[in-house]
Amino acid sequence: MLSPLIIALDYPSLDEALVCARKLDPTKVRLKVGKQLFTSEGPRVLDALHGLGFDVFLDLKFHDIPNTVAGAVGAAADLGVWMVNVHASGGRRMMEAAAAAVAQRTSARTQLIAVTVLTSMDDTDLLELGISETPAERVGRLAALAQSSGLDGVVCSAQEAAMLSKQCGPEFSLITPGIRLPEDAAGDQRRVVTPWDAMAGGSTYLVMGRSITGAANPTAVVDSIIGKLSSLN
């Protein structure tokens, strides 16, 4: 049975990504493909990962005029991805156009989610952009906008998951990056949480990268995390 884990394949080439992917079990985890890997390799990386049996989250964070974003997410749906995302700050018309483009596809339904505030950002970063809201306030506002625009969920920090699960309800997915094991360094993330705290706080899916991909035995780390999460239920 699939766990809530989404493993970020943050590699520069398909060959390197496949070395890691082949160490993982598609019946336990999903995979995330981001900008670097997709820009380097294009749709063939999705074909390769789908061929291994994985559900894939295409993490390209589209943010453009409505027609352009609608075309992009529609193309992603045609490629068979399980999930694709846009920036909620692109506004209602952009998100509604994207949701309509995904809904028009006759293949298996692709989940469309919106990025609220990047987990690398904090109060200071928002102030530099002229935004006086705290990250939590900004996230709440953008999540409400995404939900009313017809999206399936949002990307947010696990620190905001409890708030959003109450605000948006259980059917609205909360995808939380910045997940680290207690012994890990935070890296370039500012708002980080452990897997078990994230799930207890209301996260739906957990995005993890270096904690797993950088391990000597990624499978063992995945099994350990899944085991601990199961014990908390």
Domain ranges across the chain: 5-232
Q: Which residues of the chain have pLDDT under 70?
A: 106-107, 184-192, 233
Q: Counting Cβ atoms within 10 Å, is residue 156 exposed (0-12), middle (13-18) or buried (19+)? A: buried
Q: Are 174 and 149 in contact (CB under 8 A)?
A: no
61 is catalytic: yes
- The 10s digit of each residue's pLDDT in 175-189 is 999 888 877 655 554
In the CATH hierarchy, which fold is given to the domain comprising 5-232? TIM Barrel (3.20.20)
Q: Annotated catalytic residue: which of 32, 61, 166, 228?
A: 61
| Cα distance between residue 42 and residue 171, in whole Å | 32
What is the chain's alpha carbon radius of gyration, rounded to the nearest angstrom? 17
pTM: 0.92
Q: What is residue 12's predicted lDDT score, i.e. its pLDDT? A: 96
Q: What is residue 109's predicted lDDT score, i.e. its pLDDT? A: 86
Q: What is residue 193's predicted lDDT score, i.e. its pLDDT? A: 81
